[in-house]
């Protein structure tokens, strides 16, 4: 096994392919999760997709303590008695331990797919897409980091009449995006987390100027449907002030609607598997009455903004 590539726009790694998804756009879809993201959201629910390069994930509950990985590692980076198990500063992510492991305890996160190979896999489910009004969804991580690859992929997929959706956090070079990716996309889910610049720097790792500029540009053109979404992160994005600021901003931009993305804590355990500290967030899914309250609050905010702007 060779060391994987990093943020080479022609050779992105794919973390996962989810076939038969009913949650990532209309109809039945195949979702492609790209590895790599320019943001570092402190609440990222899919941390495997943040770094563009390959990573080793270790799941202690599956470990047999057989020691095969220790024998296989040429850099002496694995210690069965160390709580972290892998010394990440020594590990060069060669993947030899993963090959030696007899079970699912070790996993190499991120695989390169030749573009034709991936297109063939996506087209395999074309009859399901057609019958359900579904298609392909590009997700991540951030697919827009890889305009060369994405354009090549969609040039192979789109002529078959496949509906293409893109999930993005919005931090991309607009001219490159507009010329390479936008012509092939039917629907864009655009995540809006903060309007306040300092909150964006604090919680996304970057200012949001480019994100908001790109949102305005996309909502101002008509060739593609754009659906803004607000990821609900308890204690961070769900404050009344933040939700009001987002709704007001979207109203000014003429957004036709906005969706709340429910909080999903399932990714929290992944941080430990990658050898990273987990963010200090609730490990529980919100209770139904909490969700109901949030939706009511959100409706009230939308109503107030509409009334105020119409007055």
Copy the structure tokens of residue 225: 């449907």
**How far is the C-alpha of 287 from the C-alpha of 136, rounded, in Å?**
31
Closest to ligand SF4 by CB, 3 or 198:
3
Closest to ligand SF4 by CB, 52 or 228:
52
Q: In whole angstroms, how close is the CB of 71 to ligand SF4 at the nearest point?
A: 8
Question: What residues have CB less than 8 Å from 82, skipping those under 6 apart?
Answer: none
Cβ-contact 259, 192 below 8 angstroms: no
Q: In whole angstroms, how close is the CB of 251 to ligand SF4 at the nearest point?
A: 50
Contacting residues toward ligand SF4, per CB under 6 A: 56, 63-69, 72-73, 75, 77-78, 86, 91-97, 100-103, 105-106
| DSSP 8-state code for residue 256 | S
Cβ-contact 34, 142 below 8 angstroms: yes
| DSSP 8-state code for residue 184 | G
**How far is the C-alpha of 240 from the C-alpha of 67, rounded, in Å?**
52
Look at residue 293 and give its three-state secondary structure: helix
Closest to ligand SF4 by CB, 108 or 301:
108
Q: In whole angstroms, how close is the CB of 142 to ligand SF4 at the nearest point?
A: 25
Question: What residues have CB less than 8 Å from 48, skipping those under 6 apart?
Answer: 15, 35, 55, 57, 109, 110, 270, 274
Question: What residues have CB less than 8 Å from 55, skipping those under 6 apart?
Answer: 48, 93, 108, 109, 110, 274
Q: In whole angstroms, how close is the CB of 14 to ligand SF4 at the nearest point?
A: 19
Copy the structure tokens of residue 287: 């209770």
Closest to ligand SF4 by CB, 55 or 142:
55
Closest to ligand SF4 by CB, 71 or 239:
71
| DSSP 8-state code for residue 262 | P
Q: In whole angstroms, how close is the CB of 69 to ligand SF4 at the nearest point?
A: 3
Closest to ligand SF4 by CB, 92 or 173:
92
Closest to ligand SF4 by CB, 105 or 150:
105
**How far is the C-alpha of 302 from the C-alpha of 300, rounded, in Å?**
5
Q: In whole angstroms, how close is the CB of 46 to ligand SF4 at the nearest point?
A: 21
**Cβ neighbours, 10 Å, residue 204:** 21
Q: In whole angstroms, how close is the CB of 11 to ligand SF4 at the nearest point?
A: 19
């Amino acid at each position: 096994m060779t060391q994987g590539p990093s943020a080479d726009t022609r050779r992105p790694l794919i973390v996962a392919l989810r076939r038969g998804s009913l949650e990532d756009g209309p109809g039945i879809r195949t979702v492609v999760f790209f590895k790599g993201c320019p943001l570092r959201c402190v609440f990222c629910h899919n941390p495997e997709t943040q770094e563009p390069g390959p990573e080793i994930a270790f799941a202690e509950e599956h470990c047999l303590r057989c020691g095969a990985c220790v024998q296989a590692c040429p850099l002496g980076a694995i210690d069965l008695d160390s709580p972290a198990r892998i010394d990440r500063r020594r590990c060069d992510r060669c993947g030899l331990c993963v090959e030696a492991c007899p079970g699912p305890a070790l996993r190499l996160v991120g695989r390169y797919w030749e573009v034709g190979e991936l297109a063939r896999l996506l087209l395999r489910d074309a009859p399901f897409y057609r019958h359900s009004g579904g298609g392909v969804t590009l997700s991540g991580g951030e697919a827009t980091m890889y305009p060369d690859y994405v354009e090549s992929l969609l040039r192979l997929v789109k002529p078959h009449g496949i509906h293409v959706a893109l999930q993005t956090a919005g931090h991309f070079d607009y001219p490159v995006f507009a010329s390479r990716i936008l012509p092939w996309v039917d629907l864009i889910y655009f995540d809006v987390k903060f309007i306040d610049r300092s909150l964006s720097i604090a919680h996304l790792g970057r200012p949001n100027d480019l994100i908001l500029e790109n949102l305005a540009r996309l909502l101002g053109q008509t060739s593609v449907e754009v659906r803004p979404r607000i990821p609900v992160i308890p204690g961070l994005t769900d404050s009344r002030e933040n939700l009001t600021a987002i709704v007001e901003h979207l109203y000014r931009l003429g957004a036709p609607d906005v969706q709340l993305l429910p909080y999903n804590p399932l990714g929290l355990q992944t941080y430990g598997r990658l050898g990273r500290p987990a963010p200090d967030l609730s490990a529980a899914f919100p209770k139904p009455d909490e969700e109901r309250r949030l939706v009511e609050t959100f409706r009230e905010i939308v109503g107030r903004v509409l009334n105020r702007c119409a007055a």
